[in-house]
Amino acid sequence: MLNTLSDKVREIKKIVVTHAPIYGINDVIGGLHVGSKALREFLDSNTSNISLWITGHLHEYRYITRYRDTVIINPGPAMRGFYAIIEISHDLVKPELRRL
């Protein structure tokens, strides 16, 4: 599925939303990286074409980070009242972490 998507991502800037975290990006639990290596490979191959990547699953992390040209955000668990507001204008991505 990621290979098929990779060809389409090159056409325009994209927003990617995955439940699984990305390997090597705020994904260490118990001393081990638990993120998806397939997602990391996809990010490494397409970072200049992905403006924003929203991920989740790991309740231990809540962050906004940048990897090359991509803003990556994990808003944190909604069950604890965490969420994010993300403003997108042209190539500018402005995320903000919030809590109820």
Q: What is the CATH number of the domain that holds 28?
A: 3.60.21.10
* pLDDT computed for residue 25 by the predictor: 96
Non-local CB neighbours of 58 within 8 Å, separated by 6+ positions: 21, 26, 27, 29, 34, 74
Percent helix / strand / coil, the chain, rounded to 5: 25, 40, 35
* pLDDT computed for residue 7 by the predictor: 66
Q: Into how many domains does the chain fold?
A: 1
Domain that holds residue 43: 2-99
Q: Are 56 and 19 in contact (CB under 8 A)?
A: yes
* pLDDT computed for residue 79 by the predictor: 93
- % pLDDT > 90, the chain: 71
- pTM (two decimals): 0.86
* pLDDT computed for residue 44 by the predictor: 95
If you count them, how many residues does the chain have? 100
* pLDDT computed for residue 80 by the predictor: 95
Among positive and negative, which fits the CA dihedral 97, 33, 53, 46? positive
Q: What is the pLDDT of residues 57-90, one digit of tens each?
A: 988 889 999 999 999 999 999 999 999 999 998 7
Question: Parallel, antiparallel, or unpaired: how do β-strands 82-89 and 63-67 relate?
Answer: unpaired
Of 56, 73, 52, nearest to 21 (Cα)?
A: 56
* pLDDT computed for residue 38 by the predictor: 96
